[in-house]
Amino acid sequence: MSVFLQQLINGLSIGSIYALMAVGYSLVYSILNFSNFAHGGVIMLGAYIGLYALHLLPNSFLGALVIAAFGAGLIAVVLEKVAYSPLRKRNAPSLYFIISAMGASIFLENLVIATIGPTFKTYPQIFNPVPFTFGNISVSRIDVLMFVIAAISLAILVFIIEKTKVGLAIRACSYSSRGSNLMGVNVNRIIFVIFLLGGMLAGVAGMLFGMKYTVYPQIGVITNKSFIAAVFGGLGSLPGAVVGSLLLGLIETLSSAYIASQYRDLIAFTLLIVVLVIRPSGIMGKITEDKA
């Protein structure tokens, strides 16, 4: 039982990081209807920015987190301007967007390899490494921190989307971007906001992930997990992305505890295909012709 509880907590903490990534990815999907495969690059750069920010401000974890968030948000916005905006103006098919995103992800990953180097980097020890213990269960502080920060970030996002005017416009655009354009919504501005928000969440996710594990240029590969999580929940659905991510985190940690850790990724990818076959629209996805 204590093993189960232990894995449950680990699963929730890693799942919350997946959620931060998957939400950014889902936001872009809900408006632009294409898979932003460059999201992994933004997460990776967020991890690096967080690392350097922490070197600059060794005593201010929150300051570094904010810098990482804004830095990654800025990169996401620049990426949109360079790689997607020209395609949007031409009404290109989504295939071209995906290819462009792929190019961007190769570019970012290898730019970091060429400039910073391919080596693993570790974050300095900021928090007390001694875990909290409750009976047989021990919870590391970083896991708790990951969960709390992820929850706060997502709560802020929900507030923006549900309560503000920009959020209303985002919801309108995800319903029909052409229609909202006709109703006077500045779609270009909404897309800017979307990429900024998604990029900021990616920066937070990258920094937290780097703190728990290490930072390296191929960190973006774990975003494959966030695609899976988003598909689990239903592409383009934000609550779906969160639920799917938590589920994926739980499935992963439980399968590595009870089956075998080397099958963890295999199980995740198999589940992805199974979900796609049985219910392509995911747990909470919209079942519409153009989104499915």
Partner 1 sequence: MFSWFYIEGILILVGINLMVVLGLSLLTGFTGLFSFGHAGFMAIGAYVSAICTMNYGIPFYVAVLIGGIAAMLASLFIGYFTLNLKGDYFCIATLGFGEAVRLIFDNLQYVGGARGLPGIPLDTNLTNVIVINIIAISAMAFLIKSRHGRNMIAVREEELASQAIGINVFSYKMTALAISALYAGIGGALWAHYLGFIQPLMFQLTKSTEMTIMVIFGGLGSITGSVVGAFVLTFLPELLREFAQWRLVVYGAAVIIIMITRPQGMLGGMEFSIKGIIRFFRRGGSKKAKDTVNAAEKGGAQG
State the Cα–Cα distance between residues 228 and 221, nearest whole angstrom.
12
Total residues at the site for partner 1 (CB under 8 A)? Answer: 45
- DSSP secondary structure, 125-173, as one string: --S--SPEEETTEEE-HHHHHHHHHHHHHHHHHHHHHHHSHHHHHHHHH
Residue entry with tokens 């970091």: 112
Residues 73, 275: Cα–Cα separation, whole Å: 31
Q: Whose Cβ is closer to partner 1: residue 164's or residue 218's?
A: 218
Q: ∠ at Cα 204 (177, 154), nearest 5°?
A: 55
Instruction: Check residue 3 for interaction with partner 1 (CB under 8 A).
Output: no
Task: Report the distance separating Cα 220 and Cα 223, nearest Å.
Answer: 5
Q: Does residue 287 bind partner 1 (CB under 8 A)?
A: no
Shortest reach from residue 173's CB to partner 1, in Å: 18
Cα separation, 186 vs 282, in Å, equals 30
Residue 16 C-beta: closest distance to partner 1, Å: 22
If binding is defined by CB under 8 A, does position 58 make contact with partner 1? no
- Which CB sits closer to partner 1, 105 or 253? 105
Q: Closest approach of Cβ 249 to partner 1, in Å?
A: 17
Enumerate residues 172-231 that contact partner 1 by CB under 8 A.
221, 224, 227-228, 231
Are 98 and 34 within 8 A, CB to CB? Answer: yes
Stretch binding partner 1 (CB under 8 A), from 15-23, 104-112, 128-136, 173-181: 104-112
User: Where on the chain is the footprint of partner 1 (CB under 8 A)?
Assistant: 29, 33-35, 82-83, 86-87, 92, 94-96, 98-100, 102-111, 113-114, 221, 224, 227-228, 231, 235, 262-263, 265-266, 269-270, 272-273, 276-277, 280, 292
